[in-house]
Every structure is written in structure tokens, then in C-alpha cells.
Chain A
């Protein structure tokens, strides 16, 4: 779980929090839940973060709730890249928005099967409380 070991996979420990998801849960729903939490934890100093994180989390939540509309996934990605376009510090005085955006983008990739199911109006998890 070290930075060096994870970098070989293009990953990083981020905030260093590990959550073991039960098999019955939905990775996409849990990512949206965390994104909403992080959007509420902004310091409130910087416009791109104060505005961008809640909008990004809400859009991801629409996907988690299976409220499909055209371009939904692309919109989540666009909003994530507004705060952190590359693997470099983004538009803000701290790295909170960067970490949140990277979590969301990597979540969309890691839980791609869940994303596709949700776009089709289904969920692969057996027990979801949303």
C-alpha cells in the first residue's frame, strides 16, 4: 500500500483510507457516497472547489441512482477535470479537490461494469441502501 508500490499501477494511496467493500455492495454507489462526503468537507476558500465538488458529486449521484440522461458519464468526467485536469495540482489552494476528482475518475474506471449496468437501469449489487 506504499506510494512506490502503487505507482506501478498508476495508483496512489491518496488520503490513506482503505474501505473493504462487502460483495453485496455497489462500488459506484459507495464512490458517490464518498464523493458527496468530500464535497461537504471543502474549506470554502476556493471557487472551483466550492462549486465544482458538489456539482460533480451530485452528477455522480444521478448515475448512482440510475437516473440516466445522455452524456451523464462524460459530464462527471468533465466536472472532475475542471478541478484536476492532469496528474498535477489543480485549481485550488490545497489538494482536496484534486484528491476528490481523482477518486471519482478512478472509481468510474474501476467500477466500469457497475457504470454500464446503471446506465442500463440495473445494479449489479445484491443489497444497496441509497
Chain B
């Protein structure tokens, strides 16, 4: 089972809280919006970072994140 981070782009405002809390997975683009280091639009959350990813989801001020498991 793989866990991915899904961004609701209509809600995201580029605050950058997630890129601070999940810096192994995300980096800010030129305008502060999260970009996955692996280049995918729904980056895989590596094992061991699930808790940090959930933390980032919980802390997004715009509620723009959720974890998808498949």
C-alpha cells in the first residue's frame, strides 16, 4: 500500500507550511507553492514520514492537503 500526498490546488495559497514540515518530499517553487522533489503531482510519502505527512496535512492553513492511500 502506497501513501501519496494530494494537493487541492484550488485551495492552496502557497503559504509553505507543508514544505517546512515535509521538506524531504516538498520544496517551494518560484512563488512558494509546493513542488514534489520526485517531480510527480501526487508525491509518494516514504515509509517513516507518514506521521510528518499527516502533521503537514493537519497544519495546512487552507486545508488544501490530504493523504491518499492505494
> Which of A46, A49, A89, A91 has most chain B Cβ within 10 Å?
A91
The listed residue (A48, A86, A88, A92) touching B29 by CB distance below 8 A is A48
Complex-state Cα separation, A91 to B14, whole angstroms? 12
How many whole Å from B51's CB to the nearest CB in chain A? 25
Q: Which residues of A have CB within 8 Å of B13? A: 47
Q: Does A82 contact B (CB under 8 A)?
A: yes
How many whole Å from A105's CB to the nearest CB in chain B? 15
Q: Which residues of A have CB within 8 Å of B33? A: 47-48, 51, 91
B9 near A46: Cβ-Cβ < 8 Å: yes
Q: Which residues of B have CB within 8 Å of A55? A: 30
Q: Does A93 contact B (CB under 8 A)?
A: yes
**Count the B residues whose beta carbon is within 8 Å of the partner chain — how many?**
16
Q: Does A45 contact B (CB under 8 A)?
A: yes
Interface of A is mostly: loop
Q: Which residues of A have CB within 8 Å of B32? A: 47
Complex-state Cα separation, A93 to B7, whole angstroms? 9
Q: Within residues 4 to 33 of chain B, which ones have a CB less than 8 A from any CB in chain A? A: 7-10, 12-14, 29-33
B9 near A48: Cβ-Cβ < 8 Å: yes
Complex-state Cα separation, A38 to B40, whole angstroms? 23
Contact with B along A31-58 (1 / 0, CB 8 A): 0000000000000011111011001000
